[in-house]
Structure 1
Amino acid sequence: MSNHPFFKQPGWKTGVFSGTNYHYLSIKSHAGKATFLLLHGFPTGAFTFKGFVPELTSKGYGIILPELKGYGKTDKPTDVAALAYKTQSDEIVQILDKEGVNKVILVGHDFGGALAPRFAQYYPDRATGLVLASLPYAPPAPTGLNPDLLLQKFKPILGYENVGHIKYFAHPDSAKELNENLETFVSLLYGDPAQWKTHLTPVNALSTHIKEEHRKHESWLSKEDKETIVQFLAENGLEGPTLWFKAATSEVNVAAEKTITSPRLTLPFLSISPVHEATYPPPILKAQAALAENFTIIHPDTGHWPFEQQPKEIAVQVLKWVEEKGISSSSSVSTESKGMYGC
């Protein structure tokens, strides 16, 4: 993947922050426009935003896009403690400082959508807006993520098991199995989202189907992009990306989250809730309104990958929201976001 034009464009840099080597894209804003901090998810990393980035930069907006820990040329720790959201937030804010970026509009997809609100809560003076895609905002919790409790909560509502894959990815043997079946895995992830409900999200489904149905899934990805992602995962390995699931289901975030005094979000918050999302479909994401004072939700006609399936359309809607909330300039702070979190 490092040979893809997206990773050859000017602006990619490396730096060491609190002892961690980061690889990140930094593109300066123009004409006083704001900067977006893009936080990717599992498993294809920063490549998720390859079509979204030019839609923002062409309008003068700045970009900070780190390859998060476990991905690409950034360090790949083996200890879950390195993936604590507070630790990562502390390191990412150092990237912003190095690049001379004071405030950002946060965009998080998938696991990046778990890190993004924590960054905003640990550094409320650095965030003017929050965009989460394909994942709900989760308030600070007294324990790590418990997929069994989530299954008990959501299965009666949805009629199927929507987060059983978390148990699989958190298992010590999952990375090895995925590494041995990359083409099947990628085809399933980037195939018909309806198949997720039978082949991915139920407990034990992925381990069964990834071995029994080798390469049978049709993917909407272009041949080039599919080959690029498979190559990236082959080079990168799934050990680093799956460590995020091990960290989330551990207790590494509990102590720091106790310092967050209010779980309610008051900064402008846009939820991108894809119509065909299987893990956290619209009925779940709509419920976030109870946790946010300034909430907007949109429903693109995609599955789990809105930034890859409809990058232009998503950018149009995100930038419209940014303008409406008054956070489009580098110096602007929405009046609705002052005094965030009651801290």
Structure 2
Amino acid sequence: MDPSDPLSFVHKSTLLSTGRQYHYVDQLPPNYGWRYQIRPWVERGYRVIVPDMLGYGTTDKPYDVGAYTTKRLCEDLVALLDHIGVRKAVMIGHDWGSFTVSRFALWHPDRIIALIQLSVPYTPPAPEYISVEEMARRYSNFAYQVYFADPSSTQEIEDNLFAFWSRVYRKPGSGHGILSPGSRKLAMALDDVLEPDGLLLTPQETQYYRPFFEGAMRGPLNYYRTARLRFEEEKAANLPTTLPASLPALLIWGTEDPTCLRPVVARAHKFVPSLREVSVEGCGHWIMIEAKDAVTQTVLDFLDSVNLLGERPVAAKL
């Protein structure tokens, strides 16, 4: 398992009982984000399953926004666990993966052993619908989500893919945002591709990503277009707001991540009684790359410290 060579990992693909084709690794996925953690965790005796989430890599990319609600995504994850013959798993996620695994703990509490979130802290189901526009009004750092939620953003991002990546995958403090200052338009007009200094992707990694995202950004952006649908599903199911005190939970976040707000981190403790919080000073959003060793070891230490039913479970990572 060589983090620089995705083909050195065991890749599999299957048609799930939900009717969707999923790609996953049974121990680097085309989304490539977890490449530094898989081998150390496997070497500690964990079976690591890394699915390309819906809309990514070689997993199905449905056009319909409704396919991307967390309820539907969690149904796919249950079907994947059923396919590989695993009853319960440690669920680990970053960004939308973090939000999804937190909802997995609500939709399927009998299928999760422990919850590990990166960069996006737990937020409870809302009693009333809050639009993406309203969230951006309350928290100006979320203005990019309004742009992503607009269907017209898909084509613009696909037409400027490398310039888009050069702004998204950067170390903190670069001063280069996704949107033009004072507007909700992509900042591509300012320059095509930023200088490589500060980028988190090597040229090799960028080339590896390319075929999976060219002309295929609708799926990833659809996640931002599900707010109303997610609210309606959660409201209809009357999901609980608080996670069980018996569920071991860990949050790892970077102190320089503009999308991980300290008040939201603090509020998560109210709804996750067992939450352990680890902040990594000076790190931004892509914490499993920026602080790869710290993330790897923090997760191992956490798993070693909690009761995992006397077994080495599957660690399913999103």
Q: TM-score, normalised by structure 1?
A: 0.81
Q: Deviations over 1:247-290 (max 9, x none)?
A: 2x332442344424421123121111111101123343132111
How far off its partner does 1:93 sit? Answer: 0.7
- Aligned counterparts, 1:296-315, within 5 A: 296-300=276-280, 301-315=282-296
1:168 matched to 2:150: no
Give the root-mean-square deviation of aligned CA atoms: 2.6
Identify which of 114, 122, 139 aligns with 1:129: 114
How far off its partner does 1:128 sit? Answer: 1.4
Amino acid at match of 1:264: T
How far off its partner does 1:48 sit? Answer: 0.8
| Partner of residue 146, structure 1 | 131
2:230 & 2:298 partners in 1: Cα distance? 35
Q: Relative to 1, partners in 2 of residues 1:16 and 1:262: Cα closer, same or farther, differing over 3 Å?
A: closer
How far off its partner does 1:331 sit? Answer: 7.2
Does the 8 A contact of 1:165 with 1:204 survive in 2? no
Which 10-residue stretch deviates more, 73-82 or 284-293? 284-293
In structure 1, runs of 5+ residues without a counterpart are 28-37, 39-43, 155-160, 333-343
Identify which of 313, 326, 338 aligns with 2:307: 326
SS of aligned partner of 1:162: helix
SS of aligned partner of 2:63: coil
Identify which of 231, 236, 252 aligns with 1:272: 252
SS of aligned partner of 1:23: strand
Q: Relative to 1, partners in 2 of residues 1:223 and 1:290: Cα closer, same or farther, differing over 3 Å?
A: same
SS of aligned partner of 1:86: helix
SS of aligned partner of 2:24: strand
Aligned residues: 305
1:94 matched to 2:79: yes
Which 10-residue stretch deviates more, 134-143 or 80-89? 134-143
1:187 matched to 2:166: yes
Q: Deviations over 1:128-185 (max 9, x none)?
A: 111111112121124555233323433xxxxxx2100110001111111111111111
1:201 & 1:297 partners in 2: Cα distance? 30
Does the 8 A contact of 1:143 with 1:254 survive in 2? no
| Partner of residue 57, structure 1 | 42
1:291 & 1:263 partners in 2: Cα distance? 7
Does the 8 A contact of 1:110 with 1:133 survive in 2? yes
Does the 8 A contact of 1:133 with 1:272 survive in 2? yes
| Partner of residue 177, structure 2 | 199
1:213 & 1:192 partners in 2: Cα distance? 18
1:238 matched to 2:223: no
Does the 8 A contact of 2:119 with 2:260 survive in 1? yes
1:100 & 1:122 partners in 2: Cα distance? 19
Which is bigger in relative contact order (C-alpha 8 A, separation at least 6)? 2
Q: TM-score, normalised by structure 2?
A: 0.86
| Partner of residue 316, structure 2 | none
In structure 2, runs of 5+ residues without a counterpart are 314-318
Q: Relative to 1, partners in 2 of residues 1:262 and 1:25: Cα closer, same or farther, differing over 3 Å?
A: same
- Aligned counterparts, 1:20-35, within 5 A: 20-27=20-27
Does the 8 A contact of 2:30 with 2:209 survive in 1? no
Q: Deviations over 1:192-212 (max 9, x none)?
A: 32346x623788656241222
Does the 8 A contact of 2:38 with 2:48 survive in 1? yes
How far off its partner does 1:12 sit? Answer: 2.3
Amino acid at match of 2:83: K
How far off its partner does 1:317 sit? Answer: 0.6
How far off its partner does 1:7 sit? Answer: 4.4
SS of aligned partner of 1:313: helix
1:214 matched to 2:192: yes
